[in-house]
Structure 1
Amino acid sequence: MLKAALPISALLLLAGCASNNDSPANRTVWVEDGPPVNCINRNQVRSFRVIDDRTIDFERNRNQAWRNNLPMRCSGLTFGQAIQINSRTSQICSFDSITPRSMGSGPNAMRCQLGQFQPMKRVPVPETKPAG
């Protein structure tokens, strides 16, 4: 089971570090890196990040990830939330589901279907020259 839970102090520390590296030379964006796939190997996933109630990034490393756009909104899934991956194999596939986890969520919590995994890579933001 993968979990994305950091103490609030760690989140604040990370936010502070991010704001100090916001110079144009350090800005990056995620772009698609090949066709979507149905499954990824669980052991290649270092961490994950819930973006919103339909989007989860499964990170391979700092510069590679798979973006999963759920086919339907997942009620109760919010930014930064922990999830349980409901898979019985060494792979995570589009036919598997996730369960949002929060304090007090019980065994009957809602399950949400995963979609295909879009490979993504981080690239530098192209510099734009000032007009004039």
Structure 2
Amino acid sequence: MNAVRNVVFTACTAALLCASCAVSPEAEERRLATEAEIAHILSIELDPAEYGETKRCLSDAEYRSFRALDDRRILFVGRRDRYWINTLRTRCTDLRYGDVLVVRKFSGSRLCDTDTFEVAEWFDFPWYRRWPWHWGSGWGTGLRCSLGKFQPVTEAQVEAIEAALEAR
């Protein structure tokens, strides 16, 4: 009897969890419309001589900061008003909660589309909470995300994407 009760309890719990994760059709429709608008903005062709081509890798010297636009895109800001949008391979919900990327690089001093990362808070960084001999790994949030390619964009495109995301 206990086994049947456990199975029923587990099934009900799973059903409730699935129902709580469900997205309303209106919200999903808005998300898809926003994704289509962003895809249209990113499809605008730029002069390769002025902006460069989409890159697999971005040298550490090419960018000076980054910020998450949403859970799918990171904006890298470079020198001389250069911008790149990295569309991640999958959604990374942790981007909303942190401001440091703990990157596992496979190519030295470059970020590449094969690299993975975790998101951390600045004050979760090892030097704030632990002694140096305890730094090691294991101070990210745990969710591993993968970078995509680095697409050059203009400041106007960035503003249009931010407006589309804000309107969502």
TM-score (norm 1): 0.60
Out of 97, 102, 115, the position equivalent to 2:116 is 97
Matched positions, count:
97
For each residue in 1:1-51, what CA deviation from the matched residue of structure 2 results, as whole angstroms up to 9, or x when unmatched?
xxxxxxxxxxxxxxxxxxxxxxxxxxxxx9754431101111211011111
Identity of aligned residues (%): 30
Aligned to 1:23: none
For each residue in 1:55-107, what CA deviation from the matched residue of structure 2 results, as whole angstroms up to 9, or x when unmatched?
10111036211110001101322177322222151111000012111365835
Matched, 1:40 2:73: no
- What amino acid does structure 1 have at the position aligned with 2:148? G
Q: List runs of 5+ in structure 1 lacking aligned partners.
A: 1-29, 126-132
Distance between the aligned counterparts of 2:97 and 2:53, measured in 1? Answer: 26
Distance between the aligned counterparts of 1:108 and 1:78, measured in 2? Answer: 12
Question: For the aligned residues, what is the CA RMSD?
Answer: 3.1
Bigger shift: residues 81-90 or 66-75: 81-90
The structure that has the greater radius of gyration is: 2
Bigger shift: residues 103-112 or 67-76: 103-112
Out of 51, 67, 83, the position equivalent to 1:65 is 83
Higher relative contact order (CA 8 A, sep 6+): 1
What SS is found at the alignment partner of 1:106? Answer: coil
Q: List runs of 5+ in structure 2 lacking aligned partners.
A: 1-41, 125-137, 160-168
Distance between the aligned counterparts of 2:56 and 2:143, measured in 1? Answer: 22
Q: Which has the higher strand share?
A: 1
